[in-house]
Each structure stands twice: as structure tokens, then as C-alpha cells.
Amino acid sequence: MKGMTAEAARQALASVNEGPTCSCASCKEMCKRPCWPTPEEAEALIAAGYGEKLMNDYWGGDSDILAPKWDEDDADEEPRGQDIHLLCPAELGREGGSASFWREGGCTFQNPDGLCLLHDAGLKPLEGRLARCEHDKTDLPPVNVHKCVAALWDTAKGRAIVERWCNR
């Protein structure tokens, strides 16, 4: 794999401070798109009984962290990126399934007041804990957190967690 490795992603994420707890309209709106956990956090969600409220999502972003993939028919061409699959809180109506291409419906863990049910349980995924709202632009993460979390799943451990969950 070229570009960002899981170890480089861990180091980048370690440099980011967690955002303050906030319940403003901007934060509630952000939480409509499920945030991504690390593989270890997904295992903790499964162990806590939330496995059926997760979904199989994917990173199909820029190719600098995507694993190379060749089609047998295109042996003379450059590789294209293979999506990185991961588990995350599900969109409403997609619990136990796969993410939709267009995100809609909100996160299954967002309560009627717009707050995260996982927050007080200490299970809020890393991407959500590192997020910043419009009121806190002074300490923006120096890295693309979404991209870094995706890179953490591009490992044998990450792929095994997704495979076990998909084959449950």
C-alpha cells in the first residue's frame, strides 16, 4: 500500500486533542452522519451488545491510502484503489447492513434531542470525539481524521473484524 499506513495514521491521530463536549445545532447536525470508530472501538461496541446497530461502511476516498487492486483483464494498466471496509454506527434503517451511497436518515445512536447515546457510555467513536463544531475553530485537527481512521482499518486485524461481523 502506498501513502498512509495504519501506523502513520495512529501517530497522526495521537497528535489531535479531543474536542469539547458540545450540544449546539452544528454538532447535532454533524452527528447525523455516523462517526467512525477504530477497529478496537468497534470490537468494544460489539462486546457491549451493539453489534446489530453497526453497519459495514467503506472508504473510497483518495487513492493515497487505498490498497492497490488490479483487474486480471487490465494487467497492463495502473492499479486502482480498493475500498477499505470498516464497521461504524449504522444510519437509521441500515442497522446490521451496509452503508448507503448517499448518507441520509441520521445515526442510529443519536437520541431525539440530537445527542449521542454512546457518549455517556464511554463508547463514542474516535472520529466523533475529535470532531470540532463551528464554535471551536481554534484547535482544528491538523490531519484529516476521517481518512486516518479509514487507514486504521486497512490492516489484517481490521479486515478480520469486518469479516467476522459480516459472517455473523
Q: What is residue 75's predicted lDDT score, i.e. its pLDDT?
A: 45
Q: Which three cell numbers stand for residue 58?
A: 467503506
Q: Which three cell numbers stand for residue 109?
A: 445512536
Nearest Cα to Cα of residue 95 among 151, 56, 152: 56
Name the H helices within the chain. 6-14, 25-30, 39-45, 126-130, 145-153, 156-166
Cα–Cα dist 46/151, whole Å: 20
The pLDDT tens digits of the residues spanning 57-79 come to: 999 866 555 444 434 444 444 44
Q: What is residue 11's predicted lDDT score, i.e. its pLDDT?
A: 92
What does pTM read for this prediction?
0.83
Confidence of residue 32 (pLDDT cuts 50, 70, 90): confident
DSSP-derived 3-state class of residue 59: strand
Check if the beta carbon of residue 39 is closer than 8 Å to that of residue 158.
yes
Please tell me which of 22-36, 75-89, 146-160 the model is most confident about, judged by mean pLDDT. Answer: 146-160
Check if the beta carbon of residue 143 is closer than 8 Å to that of residue 16.
yes
Confidence of residue 91 (pLDDT cuts 50, 70, 90): very high
The pLDDT tens digits of the residues spanning 36-48 come to: 999 999 999 999 9
59-81 burial, b for 16+ CB within 10 Å, e for fewer? beeeeebbeeeeeeeeeeeeeeb
